[in-house]
Each structure stands twice: as C-alpha cells, then as structure tokens.
Amino acid sequence: MTLLLIGGCCFVDYATNKLYWVDGRLNYIGVSNLDGSSRRDIVHGLMHPFSVLVYENFLYWTEWSPEAVKKIDKNSVPNNNTQLVTNAASQKPAGIQVGSQTRCVTLDPVQTVLPAR
C-alpha cells in the first residue's frame, strides 16, 4: 500500500461497495472498501492518471501521458492486462463517463432519456 499524494478522481462502485481513486503523482489506481479498510493498489506504472470509473466488469481511466482512455477487467487485476479504449489525440482527457441504454428510462413520447435511479 502506498501513500496518496495527489488524488485526482475517485469513484464509488455501489454494486460492490468499493471506492476507487487515482494518484497522479505516484501514478497508480487504488481501491478500498467504503469504510477505508482493505486498501490496496491495483494498477501501477501509469503516466499521470486523472479520472477513473467502473462500469460492469471494467475499470476505465484517463491518462495524460500518453493521452488516452484505458480499461482493465476489474476481476483480473493486478495482472495489468490493460486495453487501450481510445487515443485522445494530443488532448489531456479529464472526466470520464459511460452512457448506457440499459441504465436509462424513457419518460415521454419525445424520447427524453435520463439515467435510471
């Protein structure tokens, strides 16, 4: 377990009651239970990670060097079998979001779609 020097983004995975975070100075992604117990580093050797989220079985994050969005199967860490999702083409990707039809509901005939709660 390492220190947290420069925290970027954190993400709460309510399905598993886990908290994920990135440290842009020490270049890793960490996870713990929501109460802070069982803290561990799960992805190492990153180059300035900035934002993180979990969607289904994948952990997604942005990196500023190289400018990219990457993912890993959260059940396979710490194997570090990362996959490139997209190259951000010389932009520094900050926030990250996932849109999903399966997590939306239609409210009216005009097809206004909002996230399900």
- What tens digit of pLDDT does each residue of 99-115 get? 665 554 444 444 444 44
- What tens digit of pLDDT does each residue of 44-99 get? 888 888 889 888 888 888 888 777 888 888 887 765 676 666 666 656 666 676 66
Q: For the whole model, what pTM was predicted?
A: 0.72
The arrangement of strands across the sheet holding 28-33 comes to 7-13, 18-23, 28-33, 40-43
CATH number of domain containing 66: 2.120.10.30
* Cβ neighbour number for residue 18 with a 10 Å cutoff: 16
Residue 116 to residues 31, 59, 99, 113: CA-CA distances in angstroms? 26, 21, 11, 9
Task: Tell me the residue range of the domain where 93 lies.
Answer: 7-115
Q: Is residue 2 part of a domain?
A: no
